[in-house]
Structure 1
Amino acid sequence: MRRNIPSLQGLLCFEAAAKHLSYTFASQELFITQSAVSRQIQQLEQFLGLSLFTRTRHGVELTPAGQQYYKSIKPLLLGIEQSTLDVMSHKGLGGTLKLGVVPTFATRWLLPKLHRFNANHPEITVHLETSTKPFLFNEHIFDAAIYAGTQQQIDHWPGTQTHFLMKEDVVPVCSPQLIQQYFPHAQMVDDFSYDLTDDQLIQLPLLQQTTRHGIWQEWFEMCQIPHPKPYDGQRHELFSMLAVAAHHHMGMALIPQMLIEQELIKKELVIASRRRLEGVRSYYLVHSSQEITPIIQKFVDWIKQELENSSFFDKY
């Protein structure tokens, strides 16, 4: 059966003209004549049976159908180009893993360890793109994603397979200077931690996470501490932002230990209480519901091995 796919040259001419809203600029980008661009777009419009552009005094504008079509094919053409470059660079061996990942996990946990995956699998190149929202595989050209969410969110993520990685447990942390400011005689119980009393904990200013409004209330309830204002304090979206604010003595934040190992080692942050809140969120590796590829399987195996060999901080 003949497939309903127009010529690639026609799509490239349309994409360039839609990007610049100009046949002239499209011809310069593609190194062909303006008349060739116009002819290719006419043939594409005949194939589709509709108009993609309307002419104006200053060039061309996309029709509503043209806008929709441009939005749809742009990432697909980019994917074809990237796949072509990947197979050329790898000479048919190995390949590329295009991975979506939540920002703080990417910068604080994954990237510092990724060199070990590269050493074990030099035939695989990993490309990372970050987002705080669920990755839609039908809209983004991703092979897989690492996402922090609830089991309910994972269950309602259509067309995917998931691999559980770990729970997102959080502990209260702040700068040692903040503790000394409020409690100059407080003593550390080990190299990384204090064990502040309930009365001391409720005196420290709080730092809130924008997307998890009730997290401090959950922690205080777990500890059976009646905090008068558990929702007060500066709000920041990402764990990395909370870590910076805490480092600059702005307050106490709830952050997963695995994301602040370097701050703990350098004594930029300390654990204010060893009581951790087992979060309802967990980290998952997610990919489409199609059969898992050898490249994704290698990455899943590697990341699970890294978690098994995780830092001693996770054992605190």
Structure 2
Amino acid sequence: MNIHRLTPSMSMLLAFDAAARHLSFTRAAHELSLTQSAVSRQIQALEQLLEVELFEREGRHIWLTEVGAMYAQDIAPALARISGASARVGAFRKGVSSLNLAVLPTFGERRLMPALAAFYRQHPGVMLHLHTRIGEYDITESGMDAAINVGVEPWPGLIAHPLEQERMVVVASPQALAQRPIHQPADVADHLLLQIAVRSEAWHQWFTARGLPLGYMRLGPHFEFSTHMIQAATAGIGIALVAHCLVEEELRDGRLVIPLYAGLDSRRSYYLLYPPEKEGFPPLATFRDWLLDHHSPAP
């Protein structure tokens, strides 16, 4: 293949990306501050360069072809990384460096955000951009510099710093316990069991570890975010099996209590993760050193 077909111009790519997201040359033109005909010409030039049709056209309506959809999915992260890199260069010129950090939503809200004011006081030259991510994902492909995630080592291809171990506990509101007390593990079966989607097996494991029949479980609703499950438990909708570090505030002020210390042994820990090539990235090094000072795992 001719090398020039592998390197279309940025103007072609931006026009295609905008049109692919909006499925409209007109809306893409508005986003890019161009005319509709200019966007159309850029995309036609790109199709000629690649020798494929990226859009089907019928009157004023367009939609992506199969190869067009594939191309749009592939170039979007690359364009995001280029945009982010350019923004960081601009910030660096002004004396500010930035870090794109993917973080679990509830951990970010409960553990990271309360401490960030202190971080900014100590390091005013670093701008931390937080992006919510759940489950498994490719840090580099997602345009992130680093991530805070939960799991079990090893993390192939990544440098991993343990922050704290996940300790799962049963929590309930005082109102729920006043109606149906929990004095022993079997009493849990009297309550609706709230679930988090990424740990849907947790209650099964808890019942198995206690030697209780799985048929006793009254499984309740699933929640995508731990925050919502915690709120449901606080409201007395049911009881939750959740990481202790995520409910410290509710336990301190009495909105939730731990009725029995029969939790769930977890091999998982929270980690700061990043690819080896980012190890010397100055804003990451600054944030890493600060974070490890504040979240050292228990010996």
The normalised TM-score by structure 2 is 0.83
SS at 1:39's partner residue?
helix
Work out the number of aligned pairs and report it: 293
Match of 1:189? none
Q: Work out which of the residue numbers 271, 274, 291 in structure 2 matches 1:303.
A: 291
Deviation at 1:134, TM superposition (A): 1.1
Paired residue type of 1:127: H
Aligned alpha-carbon RMSD (Å): 3.0
Deviation at 1:203, TM superposition (A): 6.1
1:58–1:181 distance in 2 versus 1, CA, 3 Å: same
SS at 2:277's partner residue?
coil
**Aligned mates of 2:242, 2:137 — CA distance in 1:** 23
1:40–1:236 distance in 2 versus 1, CA, 3 Å: closer
Q: Work out which of the residue numbers 130, 133, 138 in structure 2 matches 1:131.
A: 133
Paired residue type of 2:176: L
- CA deviations on 1:115-165 (whole Å, 9 max, x unpaired) are 2222222111112222321121343111111111233xx44x4x3222222
Paired residue type of 1:123: G
1:74–1:201 distance in 2 versus 1, CA, 3 Å: same
SS at 1:135's partner residue?
coil
Match of 1:88? 90
| Native 8 Å contact 1:214 1:231 kept in 2 | no
SS at 1:179's partner residue?
helix
**Structure 1: tracts of 5 or more residues without a match:** 184-195
- CA deviations on 1:191-225 (whole Å, 9 max, x unpaired) are xxxxx642774464152424434434544565x56
**Aligned mates of 2:251, 2:206 — CA distance in 1:** 21
Paired residue type of 1:287: Y
Match of 1:149? 151
**Structure 2: tracts of 5 or more residues without a match:** none
The normalised TM-score by structure 1 is 0.79
Match of 1:117? 119
Match of 2:65? 63
- CA deviations on 1:274-301 (whole Å, 9 max, x unpaired) are 3443312211112224241232222222
Match of 2:184? 198
**Aligned mates of 1:302, 1:140 — CA distance in 2:** 24
- CA deviations on 1:239-275 (whole Å, 9 max, x unpaired) are 3233222212233322222211221222111121234
SS at 2:134's partner residue?
coil
Which protein has the larger Cα radius of gyration, Structure 1 or Structure 2? 1
Determine what percentage of the aligned residue pairs are the same residue: 35
